[in-house]
Amino acid sequence: MTNKQNVLIKGTKDGLMFLLSDDCPFHELISELQEKLEHSHQHFLSGPITKVTIKTGNRKLTLYQEEQIRELFKKRGNLLIQAIEDEIKDQHCSANYVRVVRGTIRSGQVYQFEESVLFIGDVNPGGNLLSTGDIYVLGALRGVAHAGINGNLDSIIAASVMEPTQLRIGHLVSHPPEKWKGNRNKQEFAYVKGDQIELDQIQHLLKRENLLASFK
């Protein structure tokens, strides 16, 4: 009898899709994923930089589990995780939900979220932080931040230290002017005004409608 595979790999027009079983213990899942990445599928997965989407079905990963998966892919070097997605629809997917994440986003890493995110840590140059909603960085933002990736121009990007290499909100792109560089003494946030991205002091952020409600 053939053992069921807990990790299926499919090619897509954008790269690779990893389908992870949602009805097996996580330690079995991570063990099989490691085996395929490092041994049985190593030749197949070697090559140029390839975008990866991970589907977890009805399994809601904890932050620790998600980080375990990201660490395995980091060892490959050429496999770049674009998204980790589940099929769970609940109140945590609402527009008012803010996900809290701690860590450091290093060069080459991409963190993408299907809700607003409060990132406690630094986004280093070459790192990417993406969200369908707002982005709040309690640390230094020196990489790329893209809020409202689904086209929401009402999204904002806030940071304790605002020194990004690039900001994006919806379809708008802003390369940082020289005044964004150097020592920042003020916490700031970026928002869309007209057809461009503007900066303002973070205390003015409290005037935005429903902001405080989003953290409840």
Domain boundary among 62, 88, 114: 88
N-to-C CA span, the chain: 51
For the chain, the domain total comes to 2
Summarize pLDDT for 118-128 with one digit per residue, the tens: 999 999 999 99
What percentage of the chain has pLDDT greater than the value 90?
32
Residue 64, pLDDT > 60, answer yes
Query: In this structure, are 142 and 123 located in the same domain?
Result: yes
Residue 72, pLDDT > 80, answer yes
- Cα–Cα distances (Å) from 202 to 75, 98, 160, in that order, read 38, 18, 9
Q: What is the mean pLDDT of residues 92-108?
A: 76
Residue 177, pLDDT > 70, answer no
Residue 179, pLDDT > 80, answer no
Domain boundary among 88, 106, 141: 88
Query: In this structure, are 84 and 97 located in the same domain?
Result: no
Q: What is the mean pLDDT of residues 165-172?
A: 93
Residue 40, pLDDT > 90, answer no
Q: Kindly report the number of other CB atoms within 10 A of residue 185's CB atom.
A: 6
Q: How many CA atoms lie within 13 A of 48 on its CB side?
A: 1
Are 202 and 187 a contacting pair, CB within 8 Å? yes
Query: In this structure, are 82 and 125 located in the same domain?
Result: no
Query: In this structure, are 15 and 63 located in the same domain?
Result: yes
Query: In this structure, are 76 and 99 located in the same domain?
Result: no
Dihedral angle at the C-alpha atoms of 149, 50, 21, 56, nearest 10 degrees? -10
The lowest-confidence range among 48-57, 72-81, 141-150, 203-212 is 203-212
Query: In this structure, are 49 and 120 located in the same domain?
Result: no
Longest dimension (CA), the chain: 66
Give me the domain span that covers residue 122: 92-216
